[in-house]
Amino acid sequence: MAPGGELELTQNGPVSDHPDPSDKELMEKVRSADTFAFTILVDRYKLKLFNLIYRLLQNKEEAEDILQETFLRVYKERESYDPTYAFSTWVYTIALNLCRNELKRRKKFRFFGLDLIKDNREYAVPAAKKSEGLSLMLEKAIHSLPVKYRTAFLLRDVEELSYDEVSKSLGVPLGTVKSRVNRARLLLRDKLRPKIRECYEVSKSSPIPIQLL
């Protein structure tokens, strides 16, 4: 941790000779105030978490603040971490709760456009900067989903959490998570099918075939 309680996101050194320590191994060290282990956890999760937070809030500055607060809470509450649960579940739950609080503060409990291109090399970018095409159609279709289906779909199919992790992160039964994810997929299929068919018809009459995703 940097002076003044701010989070330092750069790695300062190795944790051990272990080439790839697990999250739980790192948290054991973090619980003993090992800042090197904490830095590795931050580096491991910061980009995925930022993209998730950004997609929910659609504001870069607020997403950075929530990301900072998420890891500050991880460190401050490190002794309360239960190693019988996955660290990913715990950290996603913290981030989601902070996002919900921010959305409630705005009195706009809404989720905005999603970028389905999972790229850990850079942050998500606003939809207006993306190229037109099927990916934009998919993004708009996801944007139109009801909140509960959209959130479950985002965590399961975009962030690739297990059903059990999504269940724990959202605080809803496993069966409910599976139902919401399946419903989201069906809704997306129904929304996208006409668009895909339209693109296919255009490609047949075009000298340059359009490759369907």
Coil/strand/helix, residue 8: coil
Phi-psi region at 13: left, alpha or beta (left = phi > 0; alpha = psi -120 to 50): left
What are the sequence ranges of the domains in the chain?
A: 1-110, 112-213
Weakly modelled stretches of the chain, pLDDT under 70: 1-19, 106-135, 195-213
Q: What is the pLDDT of residue 142?
A: 79
**Whether 15 contacts 44, CB under 8 Å:** no
Q: What is the pLDDT of residue 49?
A: 92
Quote the DSSP letter at residue 155.
I
Q: What is the pLDDT of residue 134?
A: 60
Tokens, residue 145 = 């989903």
Q: What is the pLDDT of residue 211?
A: 39
**Whether 107 contacts 71, CB under 8 Å:** no
Return the CATH number of 1-110, one of 3.20.20.70, 2.60.40.10, 3.30.1330.10, 1.10.1740.10. 1.10.1740.10
Q: DSSP readout, 157-210?
A: IIS---HHHHHHHHTS-HHHHHHHHHHHHHHHHHHHHHHHHHHHHHHHTSSSPP
Question: Topology of 112-213 in CATH?
Answer: Arc Repressor Mutant, subunit A (1.10.10)
d(CA 213, CA 211): 6
Q: What is the pLDDT of residue 59?
A: 84
